[in-house]
Amino acid sequence: MGGQREKDGAGDAALLRAVAAGDPAAMADLYDRHAGWLHARLTRRCADPEVVREVLQDTFVTVWRSAAGHRGEEAGGWLWTIAARRLVDARRAQERAARVAGPPLEPEPHGGYEPAASAEDRVLAGLEYGDVGTALDRISPELREVLRATVVDGLSTREAARLLGIPEGTVKSRARRARAELRTALGHLNPSPLGGMA
């Protein structure tokens, strides 16, 4: 499996160099290699198929424009970073449009109305801006990327290993270490009133 991953990585690197040089055939090959799994991961984060299609398109437009900036890291991880950022941008644009158009209203107990936020949006906002996001920023990048792949994106150990270019055993051990470090970081952010860790 490691040999195939190295071959895929070398192929992706060559494709990205060709894309950076303006080769549309290389772009088509890169799209064929990665669009399927990117679409699947985006669909796990966003239930609106139109938004997913737009984000996928924006992702590859960004790749076309910025392939020269690829620094040699694993192409799948780089592509997912772009896609995840485009999804955040799309959600922010939707929120802005909803504020301008007026929010969908949900009755409140006191008789007023408040916009309804989906459970997924609340969880993702907590991951990005809440204590969990702060704690994630405090753990090492290699542990953070394993947690994001396995917990946030819902990938299996095998899928995460392939995406990150590391053995499955390494994914498992990093996930254990990441959870322990995250627990510690969260404990420092929210110490319990009794003096112990939360």
pLDDT average, residue stretch 19-31: 96
Least Cα distance to 61 among 19, 91, 32 occurs for 19
What is the domain partition of the chain in residue ranges? 1-104, 117-198
The sign of the dihedral angle between the CA atoms of 171, 173, 177, 183 is positive
In this predicted structure, the answer to whether residue 49 has a pLDDT above a threshold of 70 is: yes
Least Cα distance to 118 among 42, 47, 63, 50 occurs for 47
Q: Quickly state the pLDDT bin for 1 (edges 50, 70, 90).
A: very low
In this predicted structure, the answer to whether residue 104 has a pLDDT above a threshold of 80 is: no
Matching CATH number, 117-198, of 1.10.10.10, 3.40.1640.10, 2.60.120.620, 1.10.10.60: 1.10.10.10
| Residues linked to residue 106 through DSSP beta bridges, in sequence order | 114
Residue with tokens 């160099």: 17
pLDDT average, residue stretch 188-192: 71
| Confidence at residue 117, expressed as pLDDT on a 0 to 100 scale | 52
Least Cα distance to 65 among 28, 20, 31 occurs for 20
**Tens-digit pLDDT profile for residues 57-67:** 999 999 999 99
pLDDT average, residue stretch 149-174: 83
Q: Quickly state the pLDDT bin for 128 (edges 50, 70, 90).
A: low
Cβ–Cβ < 8 Å for 122, 94:
no
Q: Give CA–CA dist 120/106, Å, rounded.
A: 17
In this predicted structure, the answer to whether residue 143 has a pLDDT above a threshold of 50 is: yes
Report how far apart, in Å, the C-alpha atoms of 150 and of each of 54, 111, 162, 168, 174 are: 25, 41, 12, 12, 11
Q: Give CA–CA dist 17/36, Å, rounded.
A: 21
Domain at 1-104: CATH code: 1.10.1740.10
